[in-house]
Amino acid sequence: MNFTSRFSEALSLAATLHADQQRKVSDVPYLAHLLAVAALVMEHGGDEDECIAALLHDAVEDQGGMAVREEICRRFGETVVSIIDGCTDATETPKPAWRQRKEAHIARLRQAPAPVRLVTAADKLHNVRCIVCEYRRGGESLWRHFRGGRDGTLWYYRAVTDTLKHTGITPLVAELDRTVTEMERWTLPF
């Protein structure tokens, strides 16, 4: 697939919006996560709109709410913003309680269209890969970085994975399931 200048524009916007943001546990620039999610979407057949949404999937939630959503819609169109909407668990400030947001997101995911499920699976796969890597480095201290702690985080990623499995097993969802299972094995007490 050939990308147009829209993809370059989205990459530039993502880099600008997330310039000062780092990943929760590491000092890795947040842009690395957005690039990884976009790469997974590309590798699993995503079109340009889906790849743009992957680059911008956290922009509304983390970098400006509805004003950023309107800018994304204006610049990249309704299709892109509808995918981002499906990946966003909160736009209001302050955000609702963590568990409430996550349960609502999972409920919406059950009926989400394929592009939302694709970007969500890519996002969660990259997140879980990073969690497993950081757990290997630092052990249990990792969980203090997550609002849900160990139990909530494990619950959330398993619930998202199971929801995606019920909507259809794809190679990406199968890889997410394997990676979540690995995370559970590494982190659950015996």
pLDDT tens for residues 83-106? 999 999 888 778 889 999 999 999
- Residue 62 — pLDDT band, cuts 50, 70, 90? confident
pTM above 0.75, yes or no: yes
Q: Where do the domains of the chain lie?
A: 5-187
pLDDT tens for residues 114-125? 999 999 999 999
Q: What is the CATH number of domain 5-187?
A: 1.10.3210.10
Which long-range contacts link 22-26 to residues 24+ away (Cβ below 8 Å)?
23/130, 24/145, 24/146, 25/130, 25/131, 25/134, 25/138, 25/142, 25/145, 26/130, 26/134
Return the active site residues. 61-62
